[in-house]
Structure 1
Amino acid sequence: MLSLLIDSKVRLPRWPVSAHNVDTKRDLRHAQGERDFFLTVVRDIATDLDLKSLSQKIVDDLTVLLDCDAGSLFLVDGPPRGSRRRCLVSKVFDVHSGARGQFLLPDGVQCDAAGGPTTGTDNEVRIPWGVGILGHVASTGETVNLDVACEDPRFDDEVDRIMGYYTSSLLCMPVKNSYEEIIAVAQVNNKNPDKDDGHFTSMDEKLFETYLQFVGIAITNAQIVEDSRAEYDRNRNLLEVVHDLFEEQTSIDKVIMKIMQRAQRLLKCERAAVLLVDESCDSTSFSKLFDLNSPKHNIKNNVKNSRQKVEGENVSRYLESLAERVACSGEVLNINEHECSEGIVDSGINSLLAMPIRNKNDQIIGVASIINKLNSSPFDDYDEQLFEAFTIFCGLGIHNTLMYSEVEKAMARQKVSIEVLSYHATASNKEVERILGMPVPAADSLNLYSLTFDDFSLNDDEMLMAAVSMFLELGLVKTFNIEKETLYRFLITVKRNYRDVPYHNWRHAFNVAQVMFAIMMGCDMKNTFSDLEVLGMFVGCLCHDLDHRGTNNSFQEKARSALVLLYGTTNTMEHHHFNHAVMILSSENLNIFSSLSAESFSTVMKVLKHSILATDLSMYFQLRNKFFRLIESKEYSWDEESQRYLLMAMLMTSSDLAASTKQWHVQKRAARLVTDEFIEQGDKERFELKIQPQALMDRERQHELPQLQIRWIADICLPLYQALGQMNPKLNVMKEGALNNMHQWSKLVDENYKNLNGEQNN
């Protein structure tokens, strides 16, 4: 499927080899005349973008133009000058002794043991750089014109003797591109003996040079097209590599197997090996070794049907030592047959390319090696470039797979940790049985309907039973079929998941829930909301500060705590409280929502999240002016969901801040506890974060508590309670309580002022 999607829609033109053979071209030259024939052959090569057919045309044209016996054309191949891998390569080759117009094996071509030329894929012939007359012309750029070739020391008659051919005259010239760089060498042999005594003249040289200028343009264009095709193939192959690697990220063994299989297909080699660096060792060593062998010329079948994966064995010491060298230095190794030691060549290795595999941090995590190109030639620059890109993607694939493995381990550790924490944080059967045996008090007997309820009047067990009583009085147990044991276990677990901090603990959570209960039942607000919304809000009150650490959102951001990394800097603690509530509700035997339908469950969870997030004062500041305007206009309708959710948020805040409205002895004690918690945070900011805490958290400014409380009530609390009292007169109790506490704090300010003046007078 991927191959179809990335198939190129561009179709480059291709021209077949000219239908005119050498004899036909000679007749054409005779018929057209030299000038017109020259233009004809130039037009012919100008429109041919295939290097192989172009090479054949050029050789044929040279044979006819210069009226000679044979010709040859070799293209420069390899990296820029100075590289030992530079050579001359023919695109076509056909050996026939003496036949006029045939592509003749030039001097300098090496022969195998049987006496034939050394050829590669597609019948290519390669000549080492600087060898023979062709190599000399390529390296120097000089023109060589020999009347008697055998007298020149650069000429090698070995080929003539093997092929039964005699080279008398010879003309060899470089082919240059527009940058005056040598891109090919052309050679013609044995001028017609009936012309100029069989010697190439200066006129021949001029004609040869003129024609080769057009040849340079044609070859350049054809090479650009060939490079474009190669680049497209390279990008396509690399895209398939990416697809392969990132399709499988669960097993390092499978990923590396895909890497080796793809390397063999992509770079057409017999063998591939991958060695992973052992990061636990100080010295360079490998934790895993993978080796994949394929029979020559049968890669695909072998990979699919008889693949071999070998870990820790069958990788020769030679390959491992080279891999260690690459891993240590980070260098690329490209070794051909002539550079391999005799013992290694005997073992079947004649070329090798090894590169480091790096992760996204550029650290070497392994070494990839490919061995023995199928055409028996060394790995060239194109192979290096392709393999380098290949190893980059392989590095990312291996890195991601290793990271996936680490994530899996982390998830497993987290699962175990959650199980352990759940065991210790969940109500025990013994504790549940003890509470189940206690009587449930009537809500009015505990003054739970009152907004002036004493926050410190009940102990832990009494608060648990009071919470059960409120669930019953709200009708939630009956309406939603909450099992008694599940409810008790849930409440005990919620209690246990509050930390032992001065203020934001289980008592505070219970007190917030009691205020919400009093608003619903004592102030006739229950019918404003649906039963699901009442359930979500009441549970939200109980859970709104779960796992509070005694520090606020600002501290989490300043300390860059794990909670900030997990939830971000907006509503950090509130998101944590909600997620903690979800975790409890998701635990076995704790889901008090278990009887709800999917739709009802979704609704109550939406209300639960909205209620808990609303306890963040930043949310209150964003919403309160909208609420105040709505109440002032008296155009509100709680039947409209958006307005009802706005009211939910305000009621959550009013319940959360209700300590400021309670009787003076309750307010004073609560304020002291809040201050203790704030001062502990201030100490952490001063000594751990090295920053100056704000006034209400500064231990050195505790004496300013009365002024700070007056400002807190006047700016934050009182406007909300005034608006709620305007909406529902029964809520004016909270406004009056806040005003009374402001008065009490003002008296303390006056007393402190008098005491301060008295000390100064003394």
Structure 2
Amino acid sequence: KTVYFTVGQRQEVAIFEDYTPSEDIKSLFSSAAEAGPHDILKMYTPEGSLVNISNRLESNRPDAPYRLELVAAHFNQVTICNWLLLLLLLANGEIRVSDLERRMHDLASLYPQDVQAMRDELEQHKQILGNAHARRTGTTFRHAGMGRPYWNRHKARRKSESEKRLVCEKYLYISTMTLTEEIRRCLRMPTFDNWQWEDEEILLLLQQMYVDLDLLSKFDIDLDVLRKFLCQVYMNYNEVPFHNFQHCFTVSQMMYGIIWCLDLPDKIGDLETLILLTSCICHDLDHPGFNNIYQINARTELALRYNDISPLENHHCSVAFNILEDSTANIFRSFTADVYKSVREGIIRCILATDMARHNEILNQFNQIAPVFDYDNRAHINLLCMVLIKVSDISNEARPMDVAEPWLDCLLQEFFEQSDREKMEGLPVTPFMDRDKITKPSSQCSFIGFVLLPLFEAIGRLYPELDNLIVNPVREALDYYRKLNEASRRNLEQPA
């Protein structure tokens, strides 16, 4: 593939193969942008849409280049010093590299950790020097090399504890970065594409939500405590196909967008806003990938512990408050006992509302109070929060198709794995999860038409400003799947 792109005012070209490892490609573009090892880079189309920096990046023309942009940069004292050294290297020639290496060797015994950090930076700068030399001499980027085939990150795999800890360490290293205004604006829109971001970057985005809503100052939340909380949350999500950390983020991001669209803090208060966002982040903690129907029929430990009453949702709440028992991760530790009790009740109420077995109950209650909704009525506010987290939880179809469709594939994969296990264990097979009985279009027509759209239209009647943001996209998704379903039915009816 040949990819043309701009970095600032420069136009560059990169050449790589379809089977080139995505990590090598990211490293290639990082060098082109002269980015540090922990800076965050994103690629945009000429129309301004984010595209993934991977071996799936499409070739383009020189007159329609992609735009490579540094959206967040990590600066600390060591980094700044090293970049100043880099400027000297560029100005004085590569002989300064050997001189710097010799000086670091002399200091190693006195400041081993600092010197190791400088060594790591120096290796990055050597690579940058090489690419700077290539640009001066008119050399295009080399092929990034061959290696393992592309790994589809949408598929489930189990992360080890060490892998998770490494992600958290990366996040903590980049956690002082400042995101660009463009990314912060995108973060407030349903069109935001989660597939373009690594886990450590998503932790940074969740941190940014609390910062931009001014929740840290309003509730005296220490930033280091928030970071520890987010890391503990990350450690407690499983790598199941759908109900994983990425899903936690998309639910939180949709809620975040709704908060900004409706100016919710002005309507329901800052504390309820804090409860909603935190509930979204925690709402599927330690999800095993098998739903409540399976838990109850298989008589699992969770079903026995919670007496078949929303076993998963009760478990998510329990894990969340176990995390908060650690004072170094308790973002509510400055609250009085009464306020903490209110927050705990609110989070439990919101998370329990995500049990789909309660869907009709909650929706019917909301439809009854919506025409006479009263912000001074505590019961009305509670019900509104339950509906808002439900909307956020099942909001994928309000997103662009290239973002939503991979999520549908993940969900069906999780469904099929459950039905396969149910068959293997001789349990009742959940009908809408049976790979032998459903198709993607038919399942979507039923879910969107009977579950999703009535919920979205209900919230849209209370807040018409949500129509264009999330309600109409759901209507369009239903039309799309109805057409697919009809075409599939016609194909089946045609004689062989």
Short-chain TM bin: 0.5 to 0.7
Matches of 2:306 and 2:352, distance apart in 1? 13
1:525 equivalent to 2:264? Answer yes
Correspondences of 1:499-510 after superposition (within 5 Å): 499-510=238-249
Residue 132 of structure 1 corresponds to which residue in structure 2? none
1:727 equivalent to 2:462? Answer yes
- Equivalent residue in structure 2 for 1:694, among 411, 423, 430: 430
Contact persistence 1:556–1:563 (CA under 8 A): yes
Matches of 1:534 and 1:572, distance apart in 2? 26
Matches of 1:443 and 1:470, distance apart in 2? 14
Residue 225 of structure 2 corresponds to which residue in structure 1? 486
2:329 partner SS = coil
Matches of 2:482 and 2:375, distance apart in 1? 38
Q: Structure 1 vs Structure 2: percent identity of aligned residues?
A: 30
1:717 equivalent to 2:452? Answer yes
Matches of 2:394 and 2:168, distance apart in 1? 35
Residue 299 of structure 2 corresponds to which residue in structure 1? 560
Matched residue type, 1:647: L
Matches of 2:337 and 2:351, distance apart in 1? 21
Q: For each residue in 1:388-440, what CA deviation from the matched residue of structure 2 results, as whole angstroms up to 9, or x when unmatched?
A: xxxxxxxxxxxxxxxxxxxxxxxxxxxxxxxxx99998799845642334434
Deviation at 1:692, TM superposition (A): 4.3
Matches of 1:424 and 1:567, distance apart in 2? 32
Matched residue type, 1:510: F
Contact persistence 1:442–1:469 (CA under 8 A): no
Deviation at 1:660, TM superposition (A): 2.1
Deviation at 1:718, TM superposition (A): 0.6
Matches of 1:518 and 1:670, distance apart in 2? 19
- Check 1:433–1:709 CA distance in 2 against 1; reply closer, same or farther (3 A cut): closer
Task: Show structure 1 runs of 5+ residues with no match.
Answer: 1-420
Correspondences of 1:382-461 after superposition (within 5 Å): 430-431=169-170, 433-442=172-181, 444-445=183-184, 447-461=186-200
Q: For each residue in 1:295-351, what CA deviation from the matched residue of structure 2 results, as whole angstroms up to 9, or x when unmatched?
A: xxxxxxxxxxxxxxxxxxxxxxxxxxxxxxxxxxxxxxxxxxxxxxxxxxxxxxxxx
Task: Show structure 2 runs of 5+ residues with no match.
Answer: 1-159
Q: Which has the higher contact order (CA 8 A, sep 6+)?
A: 2
Matches of 1:671 and 1:495, distance apart in 2? 22
More displaced, 709-718 or 524-533? 524-533
Q: For each residue in 1:644-689, what CA deviation from the matched residue of structure 2 results, as whole angstroms up to 9, or x when unmatched?
A: 101010001000010122122222221111110011010110002x
- Check 1:435–1:497 CA distance in 2 against 1; reply closer, same or farther (3 A cut): farther
1:667 equivalent to 2:391? Answer no
Residue 475 of structure 1 corresponds to which residue in structure 2? 214
The CA RMSD measured in Å over matched residues stands at: 2.3
Contact persistence 1:451–1:515 (CA under 8 A): yes
Contact persistence 2:298–2:427 (CA under 8 A): no
Matches of 1:505 and 1:599, distance apart in 2? 32
Residue 489 of structure 2 corresponds to which residue in structure 1? 753
Residue 676 of structure 1 corresponds to which residue in structure 2? 413
Deviation at 1:525, TM superposition (A): 2.3
Matches of 1:739 and 1:477, distance apart in 2? 37
2:372 partner SS = coil
Deviation at 1:556, TM superposition (A): 0.4
Contact persistence 1:443–1:470 (CA under 8 A): no
Matches of 2:241 and 2:177, distance apart in 1? 28
Deviation at 1:725, TM superposition (A): 1.0
Matched residue type, 2:433: M
Matches of 2:462 and 2:270, distance apart in 1? 21
Deviation at 1:441, TM superposition (A): 4.7
Contact persistence 1:512–1:656 (CA under 8 A): yes
Q: How many residues are matched?
A: 336
Residue 205 of structure 1 corresponds to which residue in structure 2? none
Matches of 2:176 and 2:449, distance apart in 1? 46
Matches of 1:539 and 1:427, distance apart in 2? 24
Correspondences of 1:65-214 after superposition (within 5 Å): none
- Check 1:467–1:442 CA distance in 2 against 1; reply closer, same or farther (3 A cut): farther
Residue 56 of structure 2 corresponds to which residue in structure 1? none
Matched residue type, 1:670: W
Matches of 1:577 and 1:611, distance apart in 2? 11
Deviation at 1:462, TM superposition (A): 2.0
Matches of 1:429 and 1:644, distance apart in 2? 35
Matches of 2:461 and 2:300, distance apart in 1? 41
Contact persistence 1:713–1:738 (CA under 8 A): yes
Deviation at 1:555, TM superposition (A): 0.6
- Check 1:574–1:582 CA distance in 2 against 1; reply closer, same or farther (3 A cut): same
Matches of 1:443 and 1:602, distance apart in 2? 38
Give the TM-score taking structure 1 as reference length. 0.42
Deviation at 1:596, TM superposition (A): 1.2
Q: For each residue in 1:112-157, what CA deviation from the matched residue of structure 2 results, as whole angstroms up to 9, or x when unmatched?
A: xxxxxxxxxxxxxxxxxxxxxxxxxxxxxxxxxxxxxxxxxxxxxx
Matches of 1:604 and 1:424, distance apart in 2? 32
More helix by share: 2
Matched residue type, 1:717: L
Residue 479 of structure 2 corresponds to which residue in structure 1? 743
Contact persistence 2:172–2:227 (CA under 8 A): no
Matches of 2:196 and 2:461, distance apart in 1? 30
Q: For each residue in 1:188-246, what CA deviation from the matched residue of structure 2 results, as whole angstroms up to 9, or x when unmatched?
A: xxxxxxxxxxxxxxxxxxxxxxxxxxxxxxxxxxxxxxxxxxxxxxxxxxxxxxxxxxx
1:700 partner SS = coil
- Check 1:726–1:444 CA distance in 2 against 1; reply closer, same or farther (3 A cut): farther
Matches of 2:273 and 2:323, distance apart in 1? 19
Matches of 1:588 and 1:431, distance apart in 2? 23
Matches of 1:455 and 1:707, distance apart in 2? 26
Matches of 1:559 and 1:610, distance apart in 2? 26
- Equivalent residue in structure 2 for 1:629, among 336, 347, 368: 368
Deviation at 1:597, TM superposition (A): 1.5
Give the TM-score taking structure 2 as reference length. 0.64
Matched residue type, 1:664: M
Residue 378 of structure 2 corresponds to which residue in structure 1? 641
Matched residue type, 1:481: D
Matched residue type, 2:481: W
Matches of 2:458 and 2:167, distance apart in 1? 44
Residue 320 of structure 2 corresponds to which residue in structure 1? 581
Matches of 1:610 and 1:442, distance apart in 2? 34
